[in-house]
Amino acid sequence: MKELELVRALTFDVFGTVVDWRGGVIREASALGRAKGLDADWSKFADLWRSLYQPAMSRVSSGELPWTKLDDLHRMNLMQVLDKFGIAGLSESEIEDLNHAWHRLDPWPDAIPGLNRLKRKFILVTLSNGNVALMVNMAKRAGLPWDAILGAEVAGHYKPQPQAYLRTAELLGIAPRECMMVAAHNRDLVAATSCGFHTAFVPRPAEHGPDQKTDLRPEAEYDVVAADFLDLAKKLGC
């Protein structure tokens, strides 16, 4: 634990780690479906939409697309999903509202009590690929007690690019080793480790629904592995 005493800020992945994006998108899409008399497998709808997330960010990171905030990538992807599902005739404001389903995701049950305990000892910061407006609106609705909203948009680089992590630490005025990345995703934590961050793995085995096969276990050495945010708080002495 000696080295861990350096940690001053916890930087959080958000989608999947803090909030249940899949349950939220299914809830919002099926509500729109009911209102419009549309029938579809909304779980598959959510999964297809999410499956386009990484490829879209990769197009930005590769330079194929200029910087595009996540709300706009979500919107481009949504148009593809609606097309694949044969859903036509939604108004501009219905599409925009559905796109903002990502602003209205609910936290996992342990997230808020865990964050409130962690906040007494640490600076709590978002280090998400979600844009600032998305993160602010989500936090406001859900009551997430962030000390700052940083991450991809402010850094101008999507995770897992190193600039996303390094710029976040720099803006906090602290060294990477004074930060601990908290995520449910091995890829994120491995990238954070390469940048000199400490790491905490909090698996979310229901993130992708009942048949999840990925990120069930730590696939590298992390400083902490915790069952949920309350367990994380306990393991970090909060």
User: Which CB atom, from 115 or from 184, has the smaller least distance to a copy of itself?
Assistant: 115
**How many other CB atoms sit within 10 Å of the CB of residue 79?**
12
Restricted to residues 58-77, the positions that interact with a copy of itself (CB under 8 A) are 71
Determine if 161 is a binding residue for a copy of itself (CB under 8 A): no
Tell which residue, 168, 129, 132, 171, has the closest CA to residue 149.
132
Non-local (6+) Cβ contacts of 150 within 8 A are 11, 125, 126, 127, 167, 168, 171, 172
Q: How many residues bind a copy of itself (CB under 8 A)?
A: 22
CA angle (182, 174, 138) in 5-degree steps = 45
Say if strands 179-183 and 148-151 run parallel, antiparallel, or are unpaired: unpaired
| Under rule CB under 8 A, residue 148 binds a copy of itself | yes
Which one, of 176, 175, 177, 179, lies nearest residue 147 by Cα? 179
Nearest distance, CB of residue 33 and a copy of itself, angstroms: 26
For position 236 contacting a copy of itself by CB under 8 A, the verdict is no
Nearer to a copy of itself, 181 or 189 (CB): 181
Region binding a copy of itself by CB under 8 A among candidate stretches 46-54, 107-115, 126-134, 227-235: 126-134
**Range in contact with a copy of itself (rule: CB under 8 A) among 26-34, 45-53, 85-93, 142-150:** 142-150
**Is residue 132 a contact residue for a copy of itself (CB under 8 A)?**
yes
6 binds a copy of itself (CB under 8 A): no
Residue for token digits 């229901």? Answer: 206
| 171 makes contact with a copy of itself (CB under 8 A) | yes
- Show the binding pattern over residues 81-120: x = contacts a copy of itself (CB under 8 A), - = does not: ----------------------------------------
Q: Cis (ω within 30 of 0) for the bond into 218?
A: no
Q: Which tokens go with 161?
A: 């690019």
Q: Which of 56, 127, 150, 181 touches a copy of itself by CB under 8 A?
A: 150
Chain centroid to CA 197: 18
Residue appearing with tokens 């698996």: 203
Contact residues: a copy of itself, CB under 8 A: 71, 123, 125, 131-137, 139-140, 147-150, 153-154, 171-174
